[in-house]
C-alpha cells in the first residue's frame, strides 16, 4: 500500500481494534508505516491515567508481531522507523528493562556514536532518553555535542524546543554551552510568532533554569506572544510563564489586561496552584487587578475546602499585601476563619504567620489564633523552620503584637515576649522616595524658614520610622524638632512615593496603610503627601503653598 494512503486511513481510525483490523489487511508495511501504527495506537489508547486497555493492546497478536519484528530487526530499521517506534513504545508504558526496549535503545545509541542521526533524529532520541532515564542520562550530553555542530537556523520550532529541554539537564556550569545558547536565543527570537502555547512555556522555563538573564529581547517577545495565548495555556504552562516573568522582572500592561479577561471567565475550572501563582505574580509585581482579585475571592469562598494550606495562603496573602478588600470580603474572611478553626495545625509555621500578618494589614483581626502564634511552642517551631527567626519573621510578629495592642484592646491572650520584638520594622530600601523627600524638605524650609523646625527619618519608640516630624505647642506654634518639653501635637508627614502604592494606582500598599493607621492611634496627626499630588508642582513656592494647605489648613499667618 502507498504510504500516503496508509497514513490517511490510519489517522482516521479511533480505536486500537480498528487499527489492528486495518493492519491485518495490509500485506506489506515499511518500518515507517509500522512505527506510525504504533504511534497512532499510543495516541488513541493513552490518556493522563496511562494505557486505557492494557490487555486489548499488549496481548493483541498484531501488536506482538510488530514488537517482535522491531526487536529482532532493529539494525535494519530506518532512523525514523527506529526512533518513532521507541517513542510510541515509551508512551505505551512498555517495560524499559525489556529486551525490546534495550534493543531499540542500543541501536539508537550506536547510530549516535557513528554520527548517522539527523537533527530530527537526535531530538527524537533525546526526548526518549529524557522520558526513560531522566536528567541523569549521560548520553544526552553526547546528543547536545552533536547538536551544537549543526546549523540552528535550519531547525524547526520543535527541534529548538527539544534542544532547550536537553540543555536544561546537561548544563552544569553557568558558561557551559553558552555560545550555543546565544545562537539558539537569537534564532528563537525570529520564530516567536510561530510558537505554540506549549513551546512558548517550555522555552520560558528553560531560560529561567539556564539563567539566561541576558536574553531580554527574547523574554519580551515571548511575553507579548503569550498575550494571545493566555486562554490556551494549560495550568502548568501558565505557571511556567508567570514564573519566568517573575524571574526576569518582566511586566507588560497588555499581559495583565489579558489575565484580567481570562481569569474571571476561567477561575472555577483553573487548578488552585495556577491561581496561587497568578496571585503571587500580582503580589510581587504590586498589580492590584480588581477583576482578578474579585474572581479569586469568589473562587475561595466556593472551593477553599479542597485547597492545600499553601494554596489557601497563596489566595489570601495578596489581598493584605496590596491592601484590597473585595466586595465579598465578609464571606471571604468568614470562610478563611472556618478553615483555620478546622485545619490550623496543618499549616507550616511560617505559612500561618504570613497568612495572619496579611489579614491584619486590611483590618481583619485573627484574635482567636494569636494565642497560638505568641506561644513559646509556636515560636520554637518558627525558629526551627529555615531560615528561622530572621528579620522578616520578627517584623511580622511585632506588627501582629502592635496591632492587637492598638486595635484590639479587648484581646487578653498571651503577648509577644520582648526578645522576639524588633527595634524597628524592616523597611525595604526602596520604600522611601529620596528625591520626593528632598522636594518636600525644600518646600518645608521655604514654608517654616528654618531647618530646625522639622526632622526627617525619625525612629519612634513604636517600631515605625516617621518620614518627617513636626512638633507643635498648645497654641499651635511650631517647635524646634529637638525640643521635648511642651509638645502638644506631633505631625507625621508620610512622603509616599510611587513605590508605596500598587502599580498604576493610588491604592496604598498594606504595610504603608497599617503604618499610617497605627501612627494615628499612637497620637500622631498623619498627613499624607502622595507623589501624585506633588509631582506636577513646578517650583519651591508651589510646593510650600501645597504643604501649607495640607499641614496647616486652618492657619493663615504663615507667610509663603
Interacting residues of 366 by C-beta distance below 8 A, sequence separation 6+: 337, 340, 356, 359, 360
Strands (E), 369-450: none
Q: How confident is the model at residue 538 (pLDDT cuts 50, 70, 90)?
A: confident
Share of the chain above pLDDT 90, in %: 83
CB of 125 closer than 8 Å to CB of 143: yes
CB of 382 closer than 8 Å to CB of 388: yes
Candidate CATH numbers 3.40.720, 2.60.90, 3.40.960, 3.30.43; the one for domain 434-551: 3.40.960
For position 557, what pLDDT does the model report?
Answer: 45
The tens digit of pLDDT for each residue in 55-102 reads 889 999 999 999 999 999 999 999 999 999 999 999 999 999 999 999
Look at residue 50 and tell me whether its pLDDT is greater than 90.
no
CB of 519 closer than 8 Å to CB of 528: no
The rounded distance, in Å, linking the Cα atoms of 145 and 222 is 27
Start-to-end Cα distance in the chain: 97
For position 520, what pLDDT does the model report?
Answer: 96
Distance of CA 358 to CAs 241, 292, 325, Å? Answer: 26, 18, 12
SS (H, E, C) 117-149: CCHHHHHHHHHHHHHHHHHHCCHHHHHHHHHCC
Interacting residues of 45 by C-beta distance below 8 A, sequence separation 6+: 16, 51, 52, 53, 57, 92
For position 455, what pLDDT does the model report?
Answer: 96
Which range has the worst mean pLDDT, 88-92, 368-372, 430-434?
A: 430-434
Look at residue 329 and tell me whether its pLDDT is greater than 90.
yes
Interacting residues of 319 by C-beta distance below 8 A, sequence separation 6+: 293, 297, 325, 326, 332, 358, 362
Distance of CA 262 to CAs 229, 266, 328, 437, Å? Answer: 10, 6, 20, 40
Strands 455-459 and 478-479: unpaired
CA-only gyration radius of the chain, Å = 32
Q: How confident is the model at residue 424 (pLDDT cuts 50, 70, 90)?
A: confident
Phi and psi at 492, nearest 5°, equal: -105, 115
The tens digit of pLDDT for each residue in 264-295 reads 999 999 999 999 999 999 999 999 999 999 99
CATH 3.40.960 segments of the chain: 434-551
Look at residue 172 and tell me whether its pLDDT is greater than 80.
no
For position 430, what pLDDT does the model report?
Answer: 56
Look at residue 448 and tell me whether its pLDDT is greater than 50.
yes
Amino acid at each position: 500500500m502507498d504510504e500516503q494512503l496508509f497514513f490517511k486511513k490510519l489517522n482516521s481510525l479511533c480505536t486500537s481494534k480498528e487499527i489492528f483490523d486495518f493492519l491485518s489487511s495490509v500485506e506489506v508495511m515499511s518500518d515507517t508505516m509500522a512505527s506510525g501504527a504504533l504511534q497512532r495506537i499510543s495516541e488513541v489508547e493513552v490518556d493522563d491515567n496511562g494505557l486505557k486497555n492494557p490487555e486489548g493492546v499488549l496481548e493483541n497478536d498484531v501488536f506482538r508481531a510488530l514488537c517482535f519484528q522491531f526487536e529482532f530487526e532493529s539494525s535494519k530499521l530506518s532512523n525514523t522507523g527506529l526512533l518513532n517506534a521507541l517513542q510510541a513504545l515509551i508512551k505505551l508504558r512498555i517495560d524499559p528493562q525489556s529486551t525490546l526496549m534495550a534493543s531499540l535503545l542500543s541501536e539508537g545509541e550506536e547510530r549516535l556514536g557513528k554520527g548517522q542521526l539527523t537533527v530530527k533524529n537526535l531530538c527524537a532520541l533525546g526526548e526518549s532518553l529524557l522520558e526513560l532515564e531522566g536528567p541523569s542520562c549521560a548520553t544526552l550530553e553526547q546528543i547536545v555535542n552533536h547538536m551544537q555542530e549543526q546549523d540552528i537556523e535550519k531547525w524547526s520550532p520543535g527541534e529548538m524546543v527539544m534542544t532547550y529541554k536537553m540543555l536544561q539537564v546537561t548544563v552544569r556550569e553557568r558558561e557551559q554551552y553558552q555560545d550555543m545558547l546565544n545562537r539558539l536565543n537569537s534564532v528563537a527570537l525570529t520564530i516567536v510568532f510561530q510558537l505554540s502555547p506549549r513551546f512558548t512555556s517550555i522555552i520560558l522555563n528553560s531560560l529561567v533554569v539556564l539563567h539566561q538573564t541576558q536574553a531580554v529581547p527574547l523574554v519580551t517577545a515571548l511575553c507579548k506572544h503569550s498575550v494571545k495565548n493566555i486562554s490556551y495555556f494549560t495550568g502548568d504552562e501558565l505557571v511556567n510563564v508567570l514564573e519566568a516573568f517573575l524571574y526576569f522582572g518582566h511586566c507588560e500592561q497588555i499581559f495583565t489586561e489579558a489575565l484580567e479577561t481570562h481569569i474571571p471567565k476561567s477561575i472555577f475550572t483553573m487548578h488552585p496552584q495556577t491561581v496561587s501563582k497568578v496571585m503571587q505574580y500580582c503580589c510581587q509585581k504590586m498589580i492590584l487587578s480588581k477583576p482578578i482579585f474579585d474572581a479569586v475571592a469568589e473562587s475561595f469562598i466556593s472551593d477553599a475546602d479542597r485547597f492545600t494550606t499553601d494554596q489557601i495562603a497563596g489566595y489570601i496573602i495578596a489581598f493584605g499585601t496590596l491592601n484590597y478588600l473585595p466586595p465579598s470580603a465578609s464571606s471571604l474572611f468568614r470562610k478563611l476563619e472556618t478553615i483555620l478553626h478546622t485545619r490550623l495545625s496543618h499549616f507550616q509555621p511560617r505559612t500561618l504567620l504570613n497568612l495572619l500578618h496579611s489579614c491584619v494589614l486590611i483590618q481583619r483581626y485573627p484574635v482567636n489564633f494569636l494565642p497560638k502564634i505568641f506561644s513559646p511552642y509556636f515560636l520554637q517551631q518558627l525558629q526551627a523552620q529555615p531560615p528561622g527567626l530572621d528579620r522578616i519573621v520578627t517584623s511580622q510578629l511585632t506588627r501582629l503584637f502592635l496591632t492587637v495592642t492598638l486595635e484590639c484592646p479587648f484581646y487578653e491572650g498571651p503577648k509577644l515576649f520582648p526578645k522576639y520584638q524588633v527595634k524597628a520594622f524592616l523597611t525595604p530600601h526602596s520604600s522611601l522616595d529620596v528625591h520626593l523627600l528632598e522636594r518636600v524638605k525644600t518646600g518645608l524650609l521655604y514654608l517654616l524658614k528654618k531647618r530646625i523646625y522639622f526632622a526627617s527619618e525619625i525612629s519612634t519608640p513604636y517600631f515605625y520610622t516617621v518620614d518627617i516630624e513636626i512638633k507643635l505647642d498648645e497654641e499651635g506654634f511650631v517647635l524646634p524638632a529637638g525640643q521635648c518639653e511642651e509638645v502638644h501635637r506631633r505631625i507625621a508627614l508620610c512622603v509616599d512615593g510611587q513605590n508605596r502604592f500598587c502599580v498604576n494606582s493610588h491604592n496604598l500598599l498594606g504595610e504603608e496603610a497599617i503604618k499610617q493607621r497605627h501612627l494615628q492611634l499612637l497620637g500622631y496627626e498623619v498627613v499624607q503627601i502622595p507623589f501624585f499630588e506633588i509631582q506636577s508642582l513646578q517650583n519651591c513656592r508651589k510646593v510650600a503653598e501645597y504643604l501649607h494647605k495640607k499641614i496647616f489648613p486652618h492657619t493663615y499667618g504663615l507667610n509663603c
